[in-house]
Amino acid sequence: MWTLAVLPLFAVSALAQYSTPTPAPSPNTTTGPDADGKYEISAEGIRAQFIPYGASISNLFINDTNGIERDIVLGFDNASHYSVDPFHPHLGGVPGRYANRIKNSTFTIDGVDYHVDANEHGGLDTLHGGSDGWDFRNFTVVAHTSDSITFSIVDPDGKEGFPGEVVSYITYTVTPFTWHLKMVALATTKKTPIMLSSHVYWNLDAFANPDTPTTHNHTLHLPYSGQRIGVDNILIPDGTILPNEKYSVNDFWSGPKQLGANLTSPEIKNNCGFGCVGYDNAWLVNRAQNGPYDWRTEGPVATLASNFTGIQIDVFSDQDAFQVYTCPGQNGSLPIKSNQGYEGRPRVVEKYGCVVMEVEDYIDAINHPEWQREKKQIFGPGDEPYVLEAKYVFSVN
């Protein structure tokens, strides 16, 4: 195991019981980043690379139905590009300390109003923790073995306007054909909102599909998601919980459906914000109606599959919401990696060229107490840590 830094002893002790144990080093344990600044971990059928910037996944390699290794996530070839990219689309990182949007960049805890950095829509709201949220910062690599890597961050009191210090560990592990993630965060000094996620952009064809540079051919199934969170024209929750009626454009629960299946339907206009055609929505994950469940075995909250490569992802998560973004905002300004693409086609991410799947809790629930998510999103000294777990199981059809 390679260790770069030691967190405060009290934080380590408090988080230890929730953190994934680091496996003993195997003979092929690496001792640092490669020439591109990336840390690799691998297991049977899967190989992944990560960078400290945002604790981000930069590459994920899976063999397709023809045995061709495909890199199925967006990112840059070199780690140094992430911090200088002017667009910063949150490529593969951990948004924090509060993912997604905060209405009016304000919230109230115990009668005290807090105002955080307003970094979106001209100051109307906060997105992914502010202008210097977690995925804009370099995490510390505290452990790295052949099949696991752990990052840490200490977020100071007052950073981006959030109250209290937060100490967090992000652990990524691979086992045969599976990527596991575990995020643990501890509020050490004051009550504060915490909601994290993994902001990975997927293209299961690695942009090599000769028929389309988009993910329109990707099939999505959200079997527990008959409802979604209602939003206004700038995607701020308006307090409503909406039904995803059977056969409607937002129905992915009654059966698998291609992401491009309903793009010509009049119903989908404004579905992802004013004038937007596509998806940028938070679906609820309703599993509890059948009684207690184990998220690891209950069944995936989402399945994404490509009919070109045959690659399929089954997403298992302990979270109660699932955001899907089909990249209607991409416009060809973001490059793809050197190991991706189809010869003769522009080497960029075009509109609808990717899909983001975010495991998380109800978005902006800190401004909707009627949803009763306080125990899931507000944490203080002496509370149990915030924990997010998920696993992505890969197969080939």
Q: Is the pLDDT of residue 52 over 70?
A: yes
Q: In the structure, what pLDDT confidence band is assigned to residue 15 with cuts at 50, 70 and 90?
A: low
Q: Confirm whether 31 is domain-assigned.
A: no
Check residue 206 and give its pLDDT.
98
Q: How many CB atoms lie within 10 A of CB 369?
A: 10
Q: Is the pLDDT of residue 233 over 70?
A: yes
What mean pLDDT do residues 7-22 have? 50
Residue of 90, 128, 180, 199 marked active site: 199
74, 102 Cβ separation under 8 angstroms:
no
Q: Confirm whether 173 is domain-assigned.
A: yes
What would the 3-class secondary structure string for the chain be? CCCCCCCCHHHHHHHHCCCCCCCCCCCCCCCCCCCCCCEEEEECCEEEEEECECCEEEEEEEECCCCCEEECECCCCCHHHCCCCCCCCCCCECCCCECCEEECCEEEECCEEEECCCCECCCCEEECCCCCCHHHCECEEEEECCCEEEEEEEECCCHHHCCCCEEEEEEEEEECCEEEEEEEEEECCCCEECECCCECEECCCCCCCCCCCCCCCEEEECCCCCEEEEECCCCCEEEEEEECCCCCCCCCCCCCEECCCCCCCHHHECECECCCECCEEEEECCCHHHCCCCCCCCCCCEEEEECCCCEEEEEEECCCEEEEECCCCCCCCCECCCCCCCCCCCCECCCCCCEEEEEECCCCHHHCHHHCCHHHHEECCCCCCEEEEEEEEEEEC
Q: Is the pLDDT of residue 23 over 90?
A: no
Check residue 178 and give its pLDDT.
98
Domain span at residue 261? 39-396
Q: Confirm whether 26 is domain-assigned.
A: no
pLDDT, tens digit (0-9, with 9 covering 90-100), for 170-210: 999 999 999 999 999 999 999 999 999 999 999 999 999 99
Q: Is the pLDDT of residue 19 over 70?
A: no
117, 161 Cβ separation under 8 angstroms:
yes
358 in catalytic set: yes
Check residue 269 and give its pLDDT.
97
199 in catalytic set: yes
Q: Is the pLDDT of residue 306 over 50?
A: yes
Q: Confirm whether 10 is domain-assigned.
A: no
Helix (H, G, I), strand (E, B) or coil at 344: coil
pLDDT, tens digit (0-9, with 9 covering 90-100), for 141-169: 999 999 999 999 999 999 999 999 999 99
Q: Confirm whether 23 is domain-assigned.
A: no
Check residue 351 and give its pLDDT.
98
Check residue 30 and give its pLDDT.
55
CA dihedral 317→320→325→326, nearest 10 degrees, is: 60
385, 185 Cβ separation under 8 angstroms:
yes
Cα atoms found within 13 Å of the Cα of residue 221, Cβ hemisphere only: 14
What mean pLDDT do residues 215-242 have? 98
Check residue 291 and give its pLDDT.
85
> CATH code at 318?
2.70.98.10
Instruction: Give 18 or 101, the one with higher predicted confidence.
Output: 101
Check residue 91 and give its pLDDT.
97
Q: How many CB atoms lie within 10 A of CB 112?
A: 10
- Tally of structural domains, the chain: 1
Residue of 160, 358, 360, 389 marked active site: 358
pLDDT, tens digit (0-9, with 9 covering 90-100), for 263-281: 999 999 999 999 999 999 9
Q: Confirm whether 22 is domain-assigned.
A: no
Q: Is the pLDDT of residue 377 over 50?
A: yes
Q: Confirm whether 210 is domain-assigned.
A: yes
At 63, the amino acid letter reads: N
Q: In the structure, what pLDDT confidence band is assigned to residue 261 with cuts at 50, 70 and 90?
A: very high
Check residue 160 and give its pLDDT.
98
Q: Confirm whether 15 is domain-assigned.
A: no
Q: Among 12-16, 98-102, 121-125, 358-362, which is the least confidently predicted range?
A: 12-16
What mean pLDDT do residues 82-96 have? 96
Average pLDDT, the chain: 94
Tell me the two tokens of residue 37: 């600044």
Instruction: Find the helix or strand (DSSP H, E) in which 9 lies.
Output: helix 9-16
Check residue 11 and give its pLDDT.
55
Check residue 289 and give its pLDDT.
81
